[in-house]
Amino acid sequence: NAGVMQNPRHLVRRRGQEARLRCSPMKGHSHVYWYRQLPEEGLKFMVYLQKENIIDESGMPKERFSAEFPKEGPSILRIQQVVRGDSAAYFCASSSENQPQHFGDGTRLSIL
Amino acid sequence: DAKTTQPPSMDCAEGRAANLPCNHSTISGNEYVYWYRQIHSQGPQYIIHGLKNNETNEMASLIITEDRKSSTLILPHATLRDTAVYYCIVRVSSNTGKLIFGQGTTLQVKP
In this predicted model, what pLDDT tens digit does every residue of A74-106 receive, in sequence order? 999 999 999 999 999 999 999 988 788 999 999
pLDDT at residue A43, rounded to an integer: 92
For chain B, what's the residue count?
111
Q: Which of B34, B43, B100 sits opposite A100 (nearest CB)?
A: B34
The count of other CB atoms within 10 Å of the CB of residue A16 is 10
Q: What is the pLDDT of residue B92?
A: 76
Give the whole-angstrom CA distance, residue B110 versus residue A33.
34
DSSP annotation of A80 reads -
Rounded distance between C-alpha atoms, residue B99 and residue A44, angstroms:
8
**Which neighbouring-strand residues pair with A22?**
A7, A76
State the 10-residue block means of pLDDT for chain B, 111 residues long: 88 97 91 94 93 93 96 97 96 74 95 94
Is there a contact between A26 and A16 (Cβ–Cβ < 8 Å)?
no
Answer whether residue A2 shows pLDDT above 80.
Answer: no
Contact status of B59 with chain A (Cβ, < 8 Å): no
Answer yes or no: is pLDDT of A40 > 90.
no
pLDDT at A99: 84
Any idea what DSSP says for residue B80?
G
Is A103 near chain B, with CB under 8 Å? yes
Q: Do B94 and A98 make contact, defined as CB atoms within 8 angstroms?
A: yes
Q: What is the pLDDT of residue B96?
A: 65
**Distance from C-alpha of A32 to C-alpha of A52, rounded to nearest angstrom:** 11
* Cβ neighbours of A61 (radius 10 Å): 13
Element (H, E) at B50: strand B45-50
For range A24-39, the mean pLDDT: 94
